[in-house]
């Protein structure tokens, strides 16, 4: 199912190959986020052409809208959204954090009030796995509780206990045909809880393991520590997935810490705010400085937006609220992330990842605006 091909000599970076029912995924990999059965502003053909291997969708949101009956009648999630490759579905555990104001945690799951119409909606281990089985995703995530980064230790400990108990219940549920199931390690910033959670989940022998409870508003240093606390207790022969991460420089650093899989809403979310990623950081293309700038979004980029259009034109589209503007920036940002992963894999294979990491991180200038947008709860 997962083959570890090479480990970097100077870091913990790994080159791997993950086999799923709908295709092989070369790792490290970035998964574009298609929460509601679509990667915002992009179509499946564009994703395929830019090299996307696998996309992510969300159990909670799809169960609310359009509902399981519609997707089942369509022939499953792949057929419904027209995506032929692998799909990973989040279990809805993140919504336990992001929709805290409209939910109540119970022993066997979580009672939500739908964010759409306020209707009651219960989601627990059995329900989450049944929904993902009906969706037919290639990788299903166990249902967990994701506490906020500043939660008191007692609350984090209770969340870990529930996460372990719910994971065991998820493990007992039937799977879809060829479906893989990943456990999720919680524990906040408490090393003992991270270790305990990881050890107990590894004993359940899931197909892969996610590092949860990151990208929940914590400073970057805490995020890195959470990964460093967890990674040593995860098996070498299973894929590791850092949920909801991150900026380009963060991804490079987390690959160096042994992480194989990533997802993040930033490429498309920032595009809708007129922000473009480059190897030297992100910038707001709507600014007046670009009104007569006839260079591409990023010089040297081979995406369709950069091959065909200028900053001046895209700025014009964004400022007059033409849909093409946000589509072009979304296309560029997604291409940038996917190319970054190709570059990372190439350097691990060549034995030059450590040098690539130093150069990339040194040249990449982080943006405070990006961190603010990262911490918003909705895609």
Q: Which of the residues are catalytic? A: 90, 263
Cis status of the peptide bond prior to 91, with omega within 30 of 0: no
Tokens of 338: 């996917």
Q: In whole angstroms, give the CA distance from residue 366 to residue 379.
A: 21
Q: How far is CA 320 from CA 267, 271, 286, 288, 325, in A?
A: 21, 15, 10, 13, 9
């Amino acid at each position: 199912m997962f083959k570890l091909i090479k480990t970097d000599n100077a870091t913990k970076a790994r080159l791997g190959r993950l086999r799923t029912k709908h295709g092989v995924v070369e790792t490290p990999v970035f998964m574009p986020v298609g929460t509601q059965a679509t990667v915002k502003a992009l179509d499946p053909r564009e994703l395929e052409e830019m090299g996307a291997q696998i996309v992510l969708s969300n159990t909670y949101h799809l169960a609310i809208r359009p509902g399981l009956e519609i997707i089942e009648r369509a022939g499953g999630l792949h057929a419904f959204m027209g995506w032929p490759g692998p799909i990973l579905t989040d279990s809805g555990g993140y919504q336990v954090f992001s929709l805290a104001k409209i939910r109540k945690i119970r022993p066997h799951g979580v009672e939500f009030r739908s964010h759409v119409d306020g209707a009651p909606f219960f989601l627990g281990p059995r329900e989450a796995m049944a929904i993902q089985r009906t969706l037919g995703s290639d990788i299903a995530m166990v249902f967990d509780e994701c506490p906020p980064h500043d939660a008191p230790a007692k609350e984090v400990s209770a969340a870990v206990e529930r996460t372990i108990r719910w994971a065991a219940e998820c493990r007992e549920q039937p799977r879809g045909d060829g479906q893989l199931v990943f456990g999720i390690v919680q524990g906040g910033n408490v090393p003992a809880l991270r270790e305990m959670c990881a050890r107990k989940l590894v004993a359940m022998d899931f197909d892969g393991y996610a590092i949860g409870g990151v990208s929940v508003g914590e400073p970057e240093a805490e995020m890195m520590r959470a990964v460093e606390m967890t990674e040593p207790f995860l098996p070498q022969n299973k894929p590791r997935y850092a949920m909801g991460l991150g900026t380009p420089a963060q991804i490079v650093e987390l690959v160096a810490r042994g992480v194989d899989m990533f997802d993040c809403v930033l490429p498309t979310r920032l595009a809708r705010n007129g922000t473009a990623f480059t190897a030297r950081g992100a910038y707001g293309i709507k600014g007046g400085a670009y009104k007569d700038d006839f260079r591409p979004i990023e010089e040297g980029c081979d995406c369709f937006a950069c091959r065909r259009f200028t900053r001046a034109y895209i700025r014009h589209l964004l400022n007059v609220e033409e849909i093409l503007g946000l589509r072009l920036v979304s296309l560029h940002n997604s291409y940038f992330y996917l190319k970054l992963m190709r570059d990372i894999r190439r350097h691990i294979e060549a034995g030059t990842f450590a040098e690539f990491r130093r150069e990339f991180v040194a040249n990449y200038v982080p943006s405070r605006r990006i961190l603010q947008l990262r911490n918003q709860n909705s895609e």
